[in-house]
Structure 1
Amino acid sequence: MDIRGKTTLVEQCRTDIDKDIAASNALRSRKNTLASIFSLPPEILVTIFTYIVEEENSKIYTGIPRRGGAPTSMIVTHVCRHLRQVALECPSLWTFIDCLSAPWVPIMLERSKQAALVVIYSAPRAPEYWPLVQLLSQLPRIKTLKLCTFSVDVDRILDCLSSQPAPLLQIFKYSLVLESHDPRISIRPISDTIFQGRAPLLRSVELAECAFILTSHVFSGLQTLYLIQFDSCPLTLSQLLSALRRMPDLELLRLSCDLSPRISEDTVLFDQVPLTRLRWIELNGVFRTAVSLFSHLILPVDAKFILFLTETESPQSFSDLFSAIYKNPDESFPIIRSLHAHLHDEVSVQFSTSSANISNSDIQFYISFDYDDNPAIIFDMCRMVLHCKIQTLSISTLYDLSQDFWCAGSAHLPELKSIILSSVPIEGFILAFMTVGASIAYPLLRTLDLEYVNFGCDEPEDLREIARMRAKGGVGIQKLRIMGCRNVTEIDVQLLEGVIADVDWDHWVWPGKS
C-alpha cells in the first residue's frame, strides 16, 4: 500500500474513532439525564445553587477569607451542560463580587443582568488590575458596597461615588489604608455630594480612618452608624450632634473617636438631640468625650451602653458620666440585678437585668476603664446606676481583694443572693465573712460559686466555719459549687457537706493531695 493509501486509512480510522467518542458522549449524556437530579425542577436547582453560593459568600461577612479560585457560581457551571444552563439563567447567582472575582467581573456583570449587586473590595497590592471603576459605574444597582482603599485613591473613589445616585444601596462601608508617607490632613472628606444626594434605602454606614461630613439628607434614614476617626482630622461634637439630629431612626451607634480636643463653646448652648429609637450605643474614647456626648443626647430608658473609656481622673468621673446618661431619675429604667467585674490591667464592669443565665440581650451597661486605685469603685458605681438591685455578683481577678473591699460590697449590695468568684484569692473574702460584728456580711447570700480558686492551707476549714456560723445565725449558705480549685480534698468536701445542704464538687484534686 502506498503512502497516500496509508494516510487515507489513518484518517478514516480517526473519523471512526471520533464518531465512536461522539456516540459514547451522547450515551453518557443520555445516562446522566436519568440521574435523579435532572428530575428536579429548575427552580429547585436554583434554590440549591443559591444556598451554596450564599453560604460560601457569607464567609466574607464573618471575616473568614474565601478560598482562591473562581467564584462559587462559576464552579457550578462546570458540572454539566444542564446545570450550567440553569445557572446561566439565574442572574442572582452572579451578583456577589469580591477581590477574588476580579478576572471574572465583566462576565459576572453580564450574567447578573440587572440584579442588585454586592461589591466587596479590599485594597489589593496592584489596584490597577482590579476593575473598581468599572464596578462603581454600576452604582445604581449596588445594594451592598464595602470598600477598603489606599488613601491615594480617595479622590478617584469619591468622584465615582458622586457621579450617580444609588437608589438600591442599603449598606455602605468605606475604610482607608493609610500609608506612612501620606499626609492624612489632605484627605478629601466625604460630603453631601456622595451618591448625588440620592440613596433612599441607605440604612447602614461604616466609615473608618477617613474624613466625613454626615449632615446630608442622604444619611437621614440610617439605622446603623459606625465611625472610626483619626486625630489629624477630628470630628467636633457640634458636627456629630448636627449629623445625629438628622438620623431620627438610628438604632445602633458605634463611635471610636475623641471629640474633646475640638469641643467648641457653642455646644454648651446646643439643643439636646433625641434618638428615640436607639437600642445600642458603643463608644471608644476618653471619659470627657463620653460625658460631653451623653449630656447632649436624649436616649430611650432601655438603651444599652458599651463603653471603652480612658483617662479616668477620679470617682467624680463616674458620677459625671452617669449624671449625663440618667438625666431624669423618675423614668422607668430597667432593674439591674447582676454585677460582673473583671479586675485586671483594666477594669470592666457589666450590669445586667438578669440574675442568672445572662445573655447579650440582658446586658444593660458595660464599661471598661483604666483605674488602678481602689477596686471598690465597682460598688460605688452601683449607687450611680439607677434601679440597681444587685442579686448576683461575679468577680474575676488575680489580685488579692482586701477585707475592706468585701465589707464595702456588703454595705452597697444589701440584696445580694449569689457570689461567683473566678481565680480570686479568697483571704480577704474569708476575713470579711468571719468578722464578728453587729451585722452579718451579705445577710441574704445563699449561693457561693468558686472557680479556679487556689485555697490556702486552712481556708477550706475557714469556709466551713463561715458556713456553720451563718447557719447558726439563720442566714446559712444553701449551695456551694467548687470547680477546678486547688488544694481541696474529698475530706474537705465531706466536712463542708455537713453544714451546707448542696455541695457540687468536680472531684478535681491537685496532684500530691489526697
Structure 2
Amino acid sequence: MAANIPLQHDISRSLSNRRLCPQVLDAQLQECDQAMTSLKSKRNALALINRLPPELLALIFHCCQDILDSTTTHRERYYRSTSQTTSPCQWTVIFRICHHWRSIALDTATLWNTIQLDNISTATRETFLARSKTAPLQLDAVGFDDQRDTELLQIALPLLSRAHSIEFTLGEAAYATTSTLGLFPPSLPNLKHLSLYSRSRKRQSDGQLPIFLTQCSTPALKTLRMAYYTLPWTVVRLPDTLTELMIDSPPVGVTVLELIGAIRDLQDLQDLTLINVFPPVLAYEEHDDGSVIIPEATTRLEFNRLRTLCIEADVIPCVHFLDHLSALPPTGTTLDLTVGQEREYTTALSRLGSMLPAVDVDSMTLDNSGILFYRSASKSIPSDVTSHGPAAGSRIHLTFPPDPHDEIISAANALASNALTSINHLSFHSVRIHHSLKTLFEQLPSLKTLTFKTYPEGIGSAFEDALSPSSSRTLKLKSLTFDAVSFADCQNPDGCPDFVLHLPSLLAAGCEIKRIVIRECTGVQSVDVVELRRFVEEMEYVRDDESAGWEDGENAEGAA
C-alpha cells in the first residue's frame, strides 16, 4: 500500500495543477466571450436597420422619443400634481440595443436639445446640454409656486440665447423679479416658438404680459401662444413674422376693433385661435325689435395664407370679427359659439348663415343642446377647439342656455335667411319642434338626407314642413330615416301617418325619395310598411319590440 501513496512533491504538483486549471479555463472562457461579442457585433452590423443611413436612423430615434416620452408633455405635466412627474428619458432604452445605436444616438444633438427644466436633475440637465452641442434648444418649464418659478427662470436665463422654442407655465412674480435685475437678453434672435401660460388656471385681475414681448425683440418668431395674460394691444406690436397666433382667456377682454388693429399686419398668418378673447358683455346698439345692430366692417383683413381659424366666443362679437375677414378657411374653420336670447341674436345668426356656403360643411344637426354644422366625411369631431385643423374639417357649433328648444328652432330659421346651398344632410335629435320649419326647409335646395331620431311623442308637423309644396319643389331629398320615432296619431290611432298618405302625390310632383329607413319606431303598422314599399326603391324596417308584439298579436287575431 505504501507504493500507492504519492510522494510529497507529487502531491504538491497535483494541487498546483488543480489551481491552474480553473484559471486557464477562465482565460479561455474570456477569450471565447470576446470572440462571441465580436461575432455578435459583426452580425448586428449586417442587420437591415443598421445598414440604414445614420440620418434615417436618427429620425427613427426621434419618433421613438416622441412616443416613449408622451407622458411628459408640457400640458400633461401642467394638469397633474408635481409629485407625479415622470422622467423624460424613457426613450434612452434604445441605447441598450447595440453599440451602433448608442453611438448614433449620442452623436445626434437634436435628441438632447429638449430641456424640461422642472422635470430633470441638475446632472441630467448638464448632460443633455453637453450632448446637444450647438443645436437650438427647446426650453420647457412648469412651475408650482413663486419660489420655484423664479428658480426655473434663473436656470433658463443663460440658455435663452440658444432657445429655438420656449414653453413656460410660470407665475407673474418670477418675470417681475428677473426683469428688475435686468437679466433678460435684449434680443432672442433664434426664438421661433413662444408659448406663455399663467400658472393660475383662473383669470387674474391683471395678468400682465411677461417680459418676452414687452422688452425683448423676437425677429424670427413664428408661433405665439398665450393663456391668461393681458396683451397691451396699444403698446406691444406683434411680430409681423408670425404664422400662428393663439390667445386664450385674457383677464381683460379685447374689442373687435382692437383685435383687428393688432393683427392686421400679420400677412403671413396661417393659424389663428381665439378662445374667450372678447369681453362677456359688449355694448352693441339695438333695433326697435331688440335685435343687436352689428356695425358694418370698414376694414378688410386679407389673410391669404390662413389655413385654420378657431374661435370660441359669444356669437355676436364673433360674427362682427368674421365680417372683417375677406374669406374664411374652407376646410379649417372651427367656431364654438354661445347664443343667448332669441331677439338679440337674430341679426348675428342671419349673417353667420350667409357665411356658411363658403365653409366646407355639408351636414346640419339640431339636438337638445344646440346646432352643429360639420363635414359628413369627418369620422370624429374633437371637443377641444384647439385640436381642429384642415385634416379634421370645418365645424361650427352653436350652444344655447338650458331648455333651449324654442330658441334652437328659431335660430335655425334665422340661419336660413339665406340659402344654405352646401347642406346635404339634416338631422333632428330630440329637440322639440313646436314652431314651423318651412323657412329652414325652403332654404335647403341641396338637401339629400333627412333624419329624425328619438321622438317618442312623434314629430308633429315637421315632416309636412319638409315636404310642403313650397319646399318640395326645390328639395333634392333622396333618403328619409326615422329612428326611435312614434308613428302613433292620437287623433287617428288606426290610420297611416300623414306622410304615408302624401307620399304618392309628392313623388308625382317630382320628389325623388329613393330610400326610407324605419328603425325601432313605435306605433308602426303593417299597412304603413306595405304602402311605403310600393313607392320607394329601398325600404329598411327594423321593428321595435312594442310594435313587434302588437303586430304579432294582430296576426294571431287575424288567424283566429
TM over 0.5: yes
**CA distance, structure 2, for counterparts of residue 369 and residue 165 of structure 1:** 44
Instruction: Tell me what 1:34 maps to.
Output: 42
Instruction: Tell me what 2:506 maps to.
Output: 470
Q: Report deviation, 1:470.
A: 2.6
Task: Kindly indicate whether the alpha-carbon contact (under 8 Å) linking 1:161 and 1:194 is maintained by their aligned counterparts in 2.
Answer: no
Amino acid at match of 1:166: L
Amino acid at match of 2:453: S
Over 3 Å counting, the alpha-carbon distance change for 1:212 and 1:251 in structure 2 is same
**CA distance, structure 2, for counterparts of residue 494 and residue 235 of structure 1:** 62
Q: 1:343 aligns with which of 361, 367, 372?
A: 367
Count of aligned pairs:
490
Task: Kindly indicate whether the alpha-carbon contact (under 8 Å) linking 2:478 and 2:514 is maintained by their aligned counterparts in 1.
Answer: yes
Instruction: Tell me what 1:368 maps to.
Output: 398
Q: Report deviation, 1:30.
A: 1.5
Amino acid at match of 1:479: R
Q: Report deviation, 1:208.
A: 0.5
Instruction: Tell me what 1:377 maps to.
Output: 410
Task: Kindly indicate whether the alpha-carbon contact (under 8 Å) linking 1:488 and 1:510 is maintained by their aligned counterparts in 2.
Answer: no
Over 3 Å counting, the alpha-carbon distance change for 1:274 and 1:343 in structure 2 is same
Amino acid at match of 2:408: P
Q: Report deviation, 1:113.
A: 0.7
Deviation by residue 1:348-381 (Cα, 9 ceiling, x = unmatched): 24276xxx64687596672413263443324433
Over 3 Å counting, the alpha-carbon distance change for 1:144 and 1:244 in structure 2 is same
> Percent of counterpart pairs with the same letter?
13
Partner SS state of residue 253, structure 1 = strand
Q: 1:77 aligns with which of 95, 119, 122?
A: 95
Q: Report deviation, 1:223.
A: 1.8
Where in structure 2 are the equivalents of 1:75-474 lying within 5 Å? 75-98=93-116, 101-103=119-121, 104-124=124-144, 127=148, 131=152, 133-156=154-177, 162-163=184-185, 165-178=187-200, 184-190=204-210, 193=213, 196-200=216-220, 202-213=221-232, 216=236, 219-231=239-251, 233-237=252-256, 239-255=258-274, 256-259=276-279, 272=299, 274-277=301-304, 278-294=306-322, 297-300=324-327, 305-310=333-338, 312-315=340-343, 317-320=345-348, 323=351, 334=358, 338-345=362-369, 347-350=370-373, 357=377, 366-370=396-400, 372=404, 373-385=406-418, 388-389=420-421, 392-402=424-434, 404-413=435-444, 416-424=447-455, 427-429=458-460, 432-433=463-464, 444-450=475-481, 452-457=483-488, 461-462=496-497, 464-474=500-510
Task: Kindly indicate whether the alpha-carbon contact (under 8 Å) linking 2:69 and 2:88 is maintained by their aligned counterparts in 1.
Answer: no
**CA distance, structure 2, for counterparts of residue 151 and residue 417 of structure 1:** 55
Q: Report deviation, 1:89.
A: 1.4
Report the structure number with the largest CA radius of gyration.
Answer: 2
Q: Report deviation, 1:178.
A: 1.7
Partner SS state of residue 188, structure 2 = coil
Deviation by residue 1:419-444 (Cα, 9 ceiling, x = unmatched): 13333457335674399986575663
Over 3 Å counting, the alpha-carbon distance change for 1:163 and 1:452 in structure 2 is farther
Structure 1 range deviating more: 482-491 or 236-245: 482-491
Over 3 Å counting, the alpha-carbon distance change for 1:270 and 1:138 in structure 2 is farther
Task: Kindly indicate whether the alpha-carbon contact (under 8 Å) linking 1:305 and 1:364 is maintained by their aligned counterparts in 2.
Answer: yes
**CA distance, structure 2, for counterparts of residue 157 and residue 60 of structure 1:** 27
Deviation by residue 1:285-315 (Cα, 9 ceiling, x = unmatched): 33443355345x2432656653333363434
* TM-score where L is the length of structure 2: 0.70
Q: Report deviation, 1:114.
A: 1.1
Structure 1 range deviating more: 203-212 or 312-321: 312-321
**CA distance, structure 2, for counterparts of residue 380 and residue 300 of structure 1:** 24
Instruction: Tell me what 1:4 maps to.
Output: none
Task: Kindly indicate whether the alpha-carbon contact (under 8 Å) linking 2:71 and 2:86 is maintained by their aligned counterparts in 1.
Answer: no
Over 3 Å counting, the alpha-carbon distance change for 1:282 and 1:86 in structure 2 is closer
Extract unaligned runs of 5+ from structure 1: 1-7
Deviation by residue 1:49-98 (Cα, 9 ceiling, x = unmatched): 23322343566669678993451443222344443222211212212333
Task: Kindly indicate whether the alpha-carbon contact (under 8 Å) linking 1:164 and 1:195 is maintained by their aligned counterparts in 2.
Answer: yes
Instruction: Tell me what 1:5 maps to.
Output: none
**CA distance, structure 2, for counterparts of residue 489 and residue 25 of structure 1:** 84
Task: Kindly indicate whether the alpha-carbon contact (under 8 Å) linking 1:338 and 1:391 is maintained by their aligned counterparts in 2.
Answer: yes
**CA distance, structure 2, for counterparts of residue 157 and residue 263 of structure 1:** 40
**CA distance, structure 2, for counterparts of residue 205 and residue 48 of structure 1:** 29
CA RMSD of aligned residues (A): 4.7
Q: Report deviation, 1:209.
A: 0.8
**CA distance, structure 1, for counterparts of residue 467 and residue 103 of structure 2:** 84
**CA distance, structure 1, for counterparts of residue 297 and residue 468 of structure 2:** 53
Instruction: Tell me what 2:516 maps to.
Output: 480
Task: Kindly indicate whether the alpha-carbon contact (under 8 Å) linking 1:396 and 1:424 is maintained by their aligned counterparts in 2.
Answer: no
**CA distance, structure 2, for counterparts of residue 176 and residue 435 of structure 1:** 51
Q: Report deviation, 1:175.
A: 0.9
* TM-score where L is the length of structure 1: 0.76
Partner SS state of residue 282, structure 1 = strand
Task: Kindly indicate whether the alpha-carbon contact (under 8 Å) linking 1:453 and 1:485 is maintained by their aligned counterparts in 2.
Answer: yes
Over 3 Å counting, the alpha-carbon distance change for 1:57 and 1:357 in structure 2 is same
Extract unaligned runs of 5+ from structure 2: 1-15, 78-83, 286-294, 380-388, 553-560
Task: Kindly indicate whether the alpha-carbon contact (under 8 Å) linking 1:446 and 1:479 is maintained by their aligned counterparts in 2.
Answer: no
Over 3 Å counting, the alpha-carbon distance change for 1:67 and 1:155 in structure 2 is closer
Over 3 Å counting, the alpha-carbon distance change for 1:71 and 1:364 in structure 2 is closer
**CA distance, structure 2, for counterparts of residue 272 and residue 188 of structure 1:** 29
Q: Report deviation, 1:110.
A: 0.8
